[in-house]
Amino acid sequence: MLAPLLAALIFFPVRAAGPQAFEVLASARTNNRTASLAFRIPAHQANVSAICLRSGSLAITLTGIEIAFADGTGQRATLQETIPPGARSSTIPVDHRRAISQVIVTKQPGLRPGETMIQLLGKVSK
C-alpha cells in the first residue's frame, strides 16, 4: 500500500516554496465588464522583485498596469495579453528596493456576463 506513495515521492518530490516563489499579494472579485481593478498591497508583502496576474474562471485581456510605490513614484507598462482561465500572465519585473502600495490593472471589458476572481502574485523579497 505504501509502495505506490513512496514511488510517487521519488519521482515527484514535494518541494517547499522558496524565497523567490510567487505569493498571492491580493485578490479581487470582478465581473467580466469591469475595465480596471485596484489592488492594495499589505506592508509585509510590499517589496517584490516581480509581479504577475492569475485569472480565475474567465479569460481576461490585460491592456495596462500601473504600479504605485510608497515613495510616491510609479511604474507603468502597456500590455496586450490574454490570459486563459486559471493561467498566469507574463512576469513584470519590479525594483525590489521600493515598496509597492497599490497596483492598478486595466483590462478589456468582456461582452459576456460573468464573474471571476483575479489574483495579483508577487515574488516577495525578504
Compute φ and ψ for 100, nearest 5 degrees. -90, 135
Strand ranges, E, within 1-126: 22-31, 36-40, 48-54, 60-69, 74-83, 92-93, 100-108, 115-124
Question: Confidence band (pLDDT; 50, 70, 90) for 17?
Answer: very low
Query: pTM for the whole thing?
Result: 0.81
Map residue 56 onto helix, strand or coil.
coil
Q: Is the dihedral of CA 20, 22, 24, 28 positive or negative?
A: positive
Task: Express each pLDDT in 46-103 by its tens digit.
Answer: 999 999 999 999 999 999 999 999 999 999 999 899 999 999 999 999 999 999 999 9
Query: 19-124: which CATH topology?
Result: Jelly Rolls (2.60.120)
* Beta strand pairing call for 100-108 and 36-40: antiparallel
Residue 114: predicted pLDDT: 87
pLDDT value for 69: 96
User: How confident is the model at residue 110, as a pLDDT?
Assistant: 80
Pairwise CA distance, residues 101 & 68, whole Å: 6
Q: What does the angle CA 74 – CA 79 – CA 85 come to, to the nearest 5 degrees? A: 115
pLDDT at 10: 40
Chain-wide mean pLDDT for the chain? Answer: 85
